[in-house]
Every structure is written in structure tokens, then in C-alpha cells.
Amino acid sequence: MDATRIIAIRHGETAWNVDTRIQGQLDVPLNNTGRWQAERLARALAAREAINVVYTSDLLRAWETARAVAESTGAPLIADEGLRERGFGAFQGKTFTEIEATMPDEAQRWRKRDPFWAPPGGESLTAMRRRVVETLHTLASRHRGEQIVMVAHGGVMDLLYRAATGQELQAPRTWQLGNTAINRLLWTPEGLTLVGWSDTSHLEDESLDESTT
């Protein structure tokens, strides 16, 4: 069978998520909520899924989330820089409000989703898409007939959804990118297909809490 089943996961919550502060490729750890989300996710996958390997961005917030999954499922854990968040250059560490106040022209181009524009010192959407799609194909092609987990970032999840549904880079986003939401994709040599998106039922399942298992 040529298909690879992919469970794509955005990392758990961080303090900078709460503050709407751009993380980009800076290393920001999970907050307490994020660690709880990662544990709920890990227990849900361990109870319901057969997983051959967990791939993750090497950035701390993704690595912490993926480590919880790997420890619960017993799957090997492998980091890959190709799964990193977009490089936001001069935007990193700033809130949306700060960017609009200090770099209004750049902020406007960002809002317009110009695919060839990059924040000063950062990465364009076109360049990021190339990186993410190439990484996806490389990793998925190693596991035909298997199921793998990929833990990454909101920007990566957005590009995977667009690749699977044929959405252009400039199309307005109408889909959710929740922390630790379970997103399901099917990879074949011909391309990517969307199977399911933004399943957060594990975050509402109290039976997955450590105190009740």
C-alpha cells in the first residue's frame, strides 16, 4: 500500500500564544495549560491509535508536546528542522499590536498574505510552503502503509491544510488551528488528502486525566 496515514498536531499552548506574541523560530516552552493538553493528547493517542513514529519540529514547544506522545505510545521520536514554524525575523518576540505600531507598512503586507513578502530577516510564505511540503513528502514516503505523527506549529498546520485542499496561500483562513487538535491526512506519491480536521474531543474527555486512569 502506497498511502501513509498522518496525524498532524499543533503544539500545546504557550504563554506567548496567550499574549498573541509572535514566536516564530524562537524557543518558547509550553505553559501549564499546554503541558496538560499534551498529556491529554498523548493518552488519547496511546489508547486509540497504532503509531509507528513521531516526527517533530525541534523547537521546544513542539518537542515537549511530541515527547509526551512518544512516551505514551512507545513510538520513536525524531526531530526535523523542516517542521519548524515560519521564520518571522524582526517580528519575533513582538505582539500583533506592537508590530502594527512600530512597523505599519510591514504589518499591512503581512495582513494581505503576500506570498513572496518576508518579514525583515524572515521567511516568505512561498519559501515556507516549499520547505514544509518537501519535508512532508520526505518523511511520509519512508512510512508507506503505516501511521505517523507530525508535531509542528500553527503555520505548518495551515500549509498542510492548504496543500490537502488546494487552497491558495492568499486565501482567507476559515479553518481552525487549535493547540493539540488532531488533524488527519493521507499521503500518497500523488499528493495529500484531507481526512479529518481539528478534533479536540480529547481535551473534553475527563477519563484521560491522570487522576482518573
Catalytic (active-site) positions: 11, 85
C-beta separation of 149 from 155 below 8 A: no
The dihedral over CA atoms of 71, 73, 75, 77, expressed in degrees to the nearest 10, equals -40
> Could you tell me which of 203, 185, 194 has the C-alpha nearest to residue 13?
203
Q: Which residue has the cell 487522576?
A: 211
Helices (H) and strands (E) in the chain, counts: 7, 6
C-beta separation of 80 from 57 below 8 A: yes
